[in-house]
Structure 1
Amino acid sequence: MDLLNKGERVKTASRKLRLLSTNEKNEAIMLISRELEAQKGEILRANSIDVENSRKKGMKESLIDRLALSEERIAMMVKSCENVASLPDPVGEIESAWVQKDGLLISKERVPIGAIGMIYESRPNVTVDASILAIKSGNSVLLKGGSDAINSNKAIVSAIKTALALAGLPDSSVELVEDTSHEAVQEMLKMNQYLSLIIPRGGAGLIKFVVNNSRIPVIETGTGNCHIFVDYNADLNKAVEIVDNAKTQRPGTCNAVETLLVHRDIAAEFIPRVSEVLSKKGVELRGCDESTKYWKMISATDEDFATEFLDLVLAIKVVKDVDEAIMHIEKYSSGHSEAILTNDYANSRKFLKDVDSAAVYVNASTRFTDGGEFGFGSEIGISTQKLHARGPFGLKELTSYKYTILGNNQVRK
């Protein structure tokens, strides 16, 4: 009943939020930034409990990194608030307008979606990102974080609710489901009388469960089996640097590279060079039969090429050309982010055209697939599907549209 009550409250709040002016929404977001700073001590203390509990349970360090907060990361949350407040408001934007033959003026106008459900794992920064993006786009949000971050999420939502009250907005504009059980997720997925959209953000298991069990429309986000293909004429020094960044900067994120594809002509030179750098940083390498000729590594299985490791693990495969690289990506990719490192213009254009993922790069790290890096201020996740949002899921993707029609007493003949 508590969950249903929160769903009803979020739905009610959405009716007020959709009518707010841009200034009112920006003021609320800036008050959230102020409260996050004011309450960072409480937030960090709560987070330290979550981190300690997760370490006791044996959570791997790459996932601890996703969970852990610091003064620097709270400062980044504050900055996200400032960035989102500075962005143009998509609500009320007229995408197109025309006069129909019978004199009707028809306009296509952006409007909020309504009450949104967010189900996610670890990463307490998502609590802030989802809240401020929802508010700026005129939506309310029901948050269901994972058990590993429950104390952090409670502290953050407390700060958000304080800010909402100061802004004169319903505190139920943002609600947190404190029941971390699997049954609560199942119940939430049935609440189509209150929620207009569900956004799962986490591992493949969570996303698959939500997609298979939701009565509410779902936008899939998060799963990132990302690839980098190093072509025959790539700048190998730059390629080592890019692969290192994509794998080791934050291996527990969805935009980290999981499989390295290497052109056969440079494999004998490149694989030892990149393997030496990665091995010094603790990366476990799993290679195809040809890869193992050039560096001592574990033999890769078909499952390895299909896995989002979210850890210091990298699969390596030697391919004969760009076409084989594209075929491998087509078979194993989750549709998140892929990159080609090359100085061959034709191959770069072919890769951009043929690879069907949300973000496709030439000569850059996959780690850039992020709402903040793309200039969206923040993101609610990375959508790996095509309807209605794809890639970094920002403000515009949190709106729908309606048609407004201005007439002069016309009747249909």
Structure 2
Amino acid sequence: MNPATVPDPSPELLQRAAAVRRSAMALAQRSDGERQAALQAMADGLEACREAILAANRADLEAAAADGLAPALVARLKLDGTKLDGAIEGVRQVAALDDPVGRRQLHTELDQGLELERISVPLGVVGVIFEARPDAVMQIAALAIRSGNGAILKGGREASRSCAAIIEALRAGLAGSAVAPSALELLTSREESLALLKLDGLVDLIIPRGSNALVRFIQDNTRIPVLGHADGICHLYVDAAADCDQALRVALDAKTQYPAACNAIETLLVHEGVAPLFLPRAVQAFAAAAVELRGDAAAMALGVSHAASEDDWRTEYSDLILAVRVVPSLDAALEHIATYGSRHTDAICTTDAEAAERFLAAVDSAGVYVNCSTRFADGFRYGFGAEVGISTQTLPPRGPVGLEGLVTYRYHLRGEGHIAADYASGRRRFSHRSLPL
């Protein structure tokens, strides 16, 4: 597609987006307690509609099976009772988080009676487009309302019934709170999701959660700022000084605990000094977990059965497939990650403290780990309650984006009739004295 194929918003969509904007402006003025209560009401709404949500998801799964949806997408689509209960608890946990709005980040006396403050404020309206992840509706809605933002959400066609049931439950809960249900809006058609890209002036940030192709298309076809990641090509490097038992446990978790996740590893790098000891054991363990290994010549000589191509180093499988390369040094591992990585999350297993520190300093990814699974790259696991997505851009926010990533700031300046001409002429001088936050 090219920009010309992105349709203009319909009058009806413009009206709905404007309603979200108005609700977001009102929401930004609600107190911390009112926003906390709104999230508790949203959680209550989800619990009250629990059976309807699960039934809608079962219908989505049946339709997905009939359509031959890819296994990785089916895994993301499934919302069973345990997963729903966890998501509801996640909403309540977000309610309990510290308020990100109204924080004074800077407080300076420019001159006597002239004080400058920098105060955190909501972004306004976030537009979130995601594929096959109905639980994302709950996470994003909770984070948006808690941080004082309105949200326009668009899930994948395969999750349409689930998303509709969830948004209905959330809005029903908000109806009894101080926050207007119109602060949350769900788009239902492909045409609407495309037109969302042209809602600059009404939408302040777009967050795509999905395939490389989805994210690239959005980045190329909107003037609205985009926060997200196009690829999740994560690496685990097993260093010469690795504890092999520990490294194998970490590698298995990072690949198999949830292979459809963007923080699952797609490439395993193994130092040639430890490869003869580590790889035969790893081949056996991954085979038992039904993982297909694709390796370079050195890895194949140690038991990997499939040959890796150049494309394998650049591929996000989101499946039980893992590329394996034997490298001669830490420098070679760092070079491989710099060449093929997506700056998402990369890890090293080593008992060498110097090697660990070099890895931490050299790998330019949102998450850089030592002796632990890349699967920890998650807003809930970081203690954020939930996340709206993971950003791999260099500028903040970076990594899992929670409440802190959904606020910006304003400068407030309070004076007593001060004018710039007095300082230009030298009649008055700035003090620039720091004041308590």
Fold shared, TM-score > 0.5 on shorter chain = yes
Once residues 288 and 361 of structure 2 are traced to their aligned partners in structure 1, the CA distance between those partners, rounded to angstroms, is: 36
Deviations 1:120-164 (A, max 9, x none): 111111100110100000000000111011100000000001011
Partner of 1:11: 21
The alpha-carbon deviation at position 266 of structure 1 amounts to 1.2
Once residues 160 and 230 of structure 2 are traced to their aligned partners in structure 1, the CA distance between those partners, rounded to angstroms, is: 20
1:167 aligns with 2:177: yes
The alpha-carbon deviation at position 169 of structure 1 amounts to 2.2
More moved, 165-174 vs 207-216 = 165-174
8 Å CA contact 1:202–1:223 kept in 2: the answer is no
Partner of 1:282: 290
TM-score, L = length of structure 2: 0.92
Residue of 309, 314, 328 corresponding to 1:320: 328
Residue of 390, 400, 409 corresponding to 2:408: 400
The alpha-carbon deviation at position 5 of structure 1 amounts to 2.4
1:234 aligns with 2:232: no
Partner of 2:65: 55
Provide the alpha-carbon RMSD of the alignment: 1.1
Once residues 280 and 51 of structure 1 are traced to their aligned partners in structure 2, the CA distance between those partners, rounded to angstroms, is: 28
1:78 aligns with 2:83: no
Deviations 1:210-232 (A, max 9, x none): 10001211112363100000001
8 Å CA contact 2:283–2:304 kept in 1: the answer is no
8 Å CA contact 1:286–1:297 kept in 2: the answer is yes
Deviations 1:81-122 (A, max 9, x none): 111011000100001111114642101100000011101111
Radius of gyration: which is bigger? 2
Partner of 2:223: 215
- Map 1:36-55 onto structure 2 (within 5 A): 36-55=46-65
Once residues 103 and 318 of structure 1 are traced to their aligned partners in structure 2, the CA distance between those partners, rounded to angstroms, is: 65
Once residues 189 and 296 of structure 1 are traced to their aligned partners in structure 2, the CA distance between those partners, rounded to angstroms, is: 45
The answer for unaligned runs of 5 or more in structure 1 is none
Match of 2:159, as an amino acid? Answer: A
Residue of 36, 46, 64 corresponding to 1:26: 36
Match of 2:365, as an amino acid? Answer: S
Partner of 1:115: 125
Match of 1:50, as an amino acid? Answer: D
Equivalent position SS for 1:105: strand
8 Å CA contact 2:295–2:325 kept in 1: the answer is yes
The alpha-carbon deviation at position 63 of structure 1 amounts to 2.2
Deviations 1:258-293 (A, max 9, x none): 100000011122111111111111111111111111
Once residues 111 and 169 of structure 1 are traced to their aligned partners in structure 2, the CA distance between those partners, rounded to angstroms, is: 17
Match of 2:155, as an amino acid? Answer: G
1:152 aligns with 2:162: yes
8 Å CA contact 2:187–2:193 kept in 1: the answer is no
Deviations 1:347-380 (A, max 9, x none): 1000000000000000000000001111111110
Equivalent position SS for 1:172: helix
8 Å CA contact 2:127–2:207 kept in 1: the answer is yes
The alpha-carbon deviation at position 79 of structure 1 amounts to 1.1
8 Å CA contact 2:131–2:156 kept in 1: the answer is yes
More moved, 94-103 vs 273-282 = 94-103
Equivalent position SS for 1:392: strand
8 Å CA contact 1:222–1:381 kept in 2: the answer is no
8 Å CA contact 2:40–2:91 kept in 1: the answer is yes
Equivalent position SS for 1:403: strand
The answer for unaligned runs of 5 or more in structure 2 is 1-9, 422-437
Partner of 1:66: 76
Partner of 2:134: 124
8 Å CA contact 1:102–1:410 kept in 2: the answer is no
Match of 2:275, as an amino acid? Answer: A
Residue of 360, 364, 367 corresponding to 1:356: 364
Count of residue pairs brought into register by the alignment: 411
The alpha-carbon deviation at position 304 of structure 1 amounts to 0.8
Once residues 178 and 380 of structure 2 are traced to their aligned partners in structure 1, the CA distance between those partners, rounded to angstroms, is: 28
